[in-house]
Amino acid sequence: MAKEVPCVKTTFAAGQPWLAVYPPGAPARVDSADYALLGDVARDMAQRKGSAPAFSTVMPNGMCGTLSFAQVDRLSDAFAAYLREVLRLEPGQRVAVQIANGLAYPVAAFGIFKAGCVLVNINPLSKAHEMTHVFADAEPSAIIALNMIGDRLGEALKETPIPHVIASEAASFFPPSSRRLIRFVQKYVRQELPPLNFRHTPIAKALALGARQVERGANVLAYTQGLDSSALGCLQYTGGTTGLSKGAMLTHRNLIMNVTQFTSFRGDDMRETDHVLAVLPLYHIFAFTVNLLGFFMRGAHSVLIPNPRPLSNLRKVFAKQPISFVLGVNTLFNGLLNEPWFCADPPKSLRMSLAGGMALQAAVATRWQEVTGTPITEGYGLTEASPVLTVNPLGREKLGTIGVPLPSTEMKCVKEDGTEAAIGEPGEIVARGPQIMPGYWRQPAETAIALRGGWLYTGDIGTMDTEGYFRIVDRRKDMILVSGFNVYPNEVEEVLARLPGVKECAVVGVPDPLRGEAVKAFIVRSDPALDAATVREFCRTELTDYKVPKFVEFREDLPKSNVGKILRKELRTDPH
């Protein structure tokens, strides 16, 4: 996939010591890729792999649905034709995707790419007001959403209407008998399917209408003829210095080159014969790039898990699927190690695991090796970098580090005065390469903060050792990382401030053995009767679950600077 350059052992440059530890055959640079546009991937893979399984979805009860590479291509053609011919969308218009891991996701994603439209990933667990913010900012012309979130979606659509809504379901593309049974259980037993009180089109009907357009001669290839690789492919919402969610603009080239970078570096680990457990949601940039795009381009089989909680939901998957590769965060690996059924019978087909999204704890990595007999490799990235920047080289992993920069990636640590930090000296990690976004959607001021002189300023404090391995020391921003998902204190504090009885509040992240970090709220009460249970219950009505404070501490006052700013740093380090 990558265009290689001369052997890195003789070409590594001063300031890039990591090149000397690259795996044999790994290029120092990648200057081209096999694809210009993301929609081309599905067509090529259908030719190469045809009837081989590309994606499967496995329910907790073991029921399974599968799409082949050829089916993903055909169905995404139909979805592209529906967007362009039926809805009359134009290239560059945004289409939101708000569905959990399932077979509808790759169909929608590659259909959007083939239509020349821009995919906007949205967490289906978002509250209505969180959706409203993204809808207002991205201005999607259409959305494909899971029918299970219809109540919250309906609330958001009242505030920020979207012209076209396509409804998906958890068992889309399952065998008819399984689909009917799953729908019956969801609707009548678990009562998980709220009425959709807004105009919408079921995904099956949308695809039928699109397929009819293809049969009548719609030229799907023509939809992207005017686009080049610099065209916007995805809006991936993330936070930043203000704590407000904003869209990182990721181009077709950003995403394709990032896949090319990590497959050229660790390609021997990502095999065509792999069965990859996709527990992380595909709307998260880590799984989006590595699972949806990376392993798909390798011709591997991705096993999608709609809901891994509780972790016993994975028991049938490991029993029925020859899982060889697991992509996850520290909390997943730690959680599995605390499941007796997993430790008693670890998967015999497992060969490799990749950790990202949050720091991998050394104790977890060590015990995983002991229990499964296989390693976990840690990498590092962020949304603005598509996301992968570093990974540990095969055979030369350093536990506790995030590895070394990928081919064509430059990284360094800089001090507050802008000069480069010395070896081992802490500084803000900055990076540049073909995977770096061109900026934030409609946010020139935020873009200017993040991108300076061609470098992406990550906000993470780290060090680099003599061999070019990086370590994360601390976070400059006050962001809290809960199971790999960002929580921004300003957003939680704004909700707390609306609770009667709260005089002052501050939110910080504290270490948590299961989630990496947990949200802790410090509150000064104006009503002495206010208790922690009331605080949490109020937050659950306003915030996604992982943002709700796990810990609540009441105080008489909060530490402040001489200008009255609450000092979160002191709250994080206060032994009380």
For 524-564, write each residue's pLDDT tens digit.
998 999 999 999 999 999 999 999 999 999 999 888 754 34
> Would you call 206 helix, strand, or coil by DSSP?
helix
Query: Other CB atoms closer than 10 Å to residue 472's CB: what's the count?
Result: 17
Which of 152-156, 362-366, 401-405, 426-430 has the weakest average pLDDT? 362-366
Cis peptide before 310 (omega within 30 of 0): yes
CA dist., res. 152 & res. 330, Å (int): 30
pLDDT at 570: 87
CB contact at 8 A, 552 and 532: yes
Cα 152 versus chain centre, distance: 22
Q: Does the pLDDT at position 134 exceed 50?
A: yes
Per-residue pLDDT of 18-30, as tens digits, reads 999 999 989 999 9
Predicted local confidence at residue 479, as pLDDT: 77
pLDDT at 14: 59
DSSP code of residue 241: T
| Euclidean distance between CA atoms 383 and 420, whole angstroms | 24
Q: How far apart are CA 152 and CA 157, in angstroms?
A: 9
385: region left, alpha or beta (phi > 0 left; psi from -120 to 50 alpha): alpha
Q: Which of 408, 409, 427, 411 is nearest to 419 (CA)?
A: 427
> Phi-psi bin for 490: left (phi > 0), alpha (psi -120 to 50), beta?
alpha
Q: Are strands 470-475 and 455-464 parallel, antiparallel or unpaired?
A: antiparallel
Average pLDDT, the chain: 91
First to last CA, the chain: 54
Strands (E), 335-489: 352-355, 376-381, 388-391, 404-405, 410-414, 427-432, 439-440, 451-452, 455-464, 470-475, 480-482, 485-487
Percentage of the chain surpassing pLDDT 90? 73
Q: Looking at residue 261, what is its pLDDT?
A: 97
Residue 413: predicted pLDDT? 96
Which sign does the torsion angle of CA 283, 285, 286, 291 carry?
positive
Mean pLDDT of the region 143-163 = 96
3-state DSSP assignment of residue 420: strand
pLDDT at 276 over 60: yes
pLDDT tier at 575, thresholds 50, 70, 90: low
Note the pLDDT of residue 475.
66
- 108-122, 350-364, 457-471: which range is least confident on average? 350-364
Question: How many angstroms separate the CA atoms of 208 and 78, rounded?
Answer: 7
Confidence band for 240, pLDDT divided at 50, 70 and 90? very low
Give the pLDDT of residue 488. Answer: 76
Cα(345)–Cα(348) distance, integer angstroms: 8
Burial string for 231-244 (b: 16+ CB within 10 Å, else e) reads: bbbbbbbbbbbebe
Nearest to 382 by CA among 479, 301, 252: 479
Residue 372 to residue 204: CA distance in whole angstroms: 41
Asked whether the predicted pLDDT for residue 6 surpasses 50, the reply is no
pLDDT of 508 over the 60 cut: yes
pLDDT of 302 reads: 97
Q: Where are the alpha helices (DSSP H) in 234-273?
A: 252-266
Overall average pLDDT of the 237-254 stretch: 80
Of the pLDDT bands very low, low, confident and very high (cuts 50, 70, 90), residue 504 is confident
Range of 124-128, 204-208, 485-489 with top mean pLDDT: 204-208
For the segment 214-228, the average pLDDT, to the nearest whole number, is 96
Least confident of 60-64, 356-360, 455-459, 560-564: 560-564
Q: Tell me which residue of 319, 320, 313, 358 sits closest to 339, measured CA to CA.
A: 313
Residue 491 confidence (pLDDT): 80
SS3 9: helix
Q: CA 378, 380, 382 angle in degrees (round to 5)?
A: 150
Confidence at residue 12, expressed as pLDDT on a 0 to 100 scale: 40
- The Cα–Cα gap between 162 and 177 comes to 33
pLDDT at 9 over 60: no
Angstrom distance (rounded) from CA 285 to CA 380: 12
For the stretch 270-283, what's the b/e string if a residue is b when 16 or more beta carbons lie within 10 angstroms of its beta carbon? Answer: bbeebbbbbbbbbb
DSSP string, 61-130: TS-EEEEEHHHHHHHHHHHHHIIIIIS---TT-EEEEE--SSTHHHHHHHHHHHTT-EEEE--TT--HHH
User: Does the pLDDT value for residue 13 go beyond 60?
Assistant: no
pLDDT of 244 reads 65
Q: C-alpha angle with apex 58: 338 to 371, nearest 5 degrees?
A: 25
Token digits for 340? 């007796």
Work out the percent of the chain whose per-residue pLDDT is above 70. 94
pLDDT score, position 243: 52
What is the C-alpha separation between 319 and 346, in angstroms, rounded?
10
Average pLDDT score over residue span 226-238: 96
- pLDDT above 50 for 57: yes
Q: What is the DSSP letter of 554?
A: E
pLDDT confidence of residue 474: 63
**pLDDT score recorded for residue 15:** 77
- The span from the CA of 56 to the CA of 67, in Å, is 6
Alpha carbon distance 421, 208 (integer Å)? 58
Cα(518)–Cα(482) distance, integer angstroms? 6
pLDDT at 576: 55
Q: How many CB atoms lie within 10 A of CB 202?
A: 15
Confidence bin at 310 (pLDDT 50/70/90): confident
Mean pLDDT of 412-427: 93
Cis-peptide, bond into residue 387, ω within 30° of zero: yes
pLDDT at 558: 86
CB 107 within 8 A of CB 67: yes
User: Hey, is 237 helix, strand or coil?
Assistant: strand
Owner of token pair 């399932």: 102
Structural domains of the chain sorted by starting position, each given as residue range(s) with its CATH number in brackets: 39-238+270-328 (3.40.50.12780), 408-475 (2.30.38.10), 480-573 (3.30.300.30)
Hey, how many other C-beta atoms are within 10 angstroms of the C-beta on 316? Answer: 16
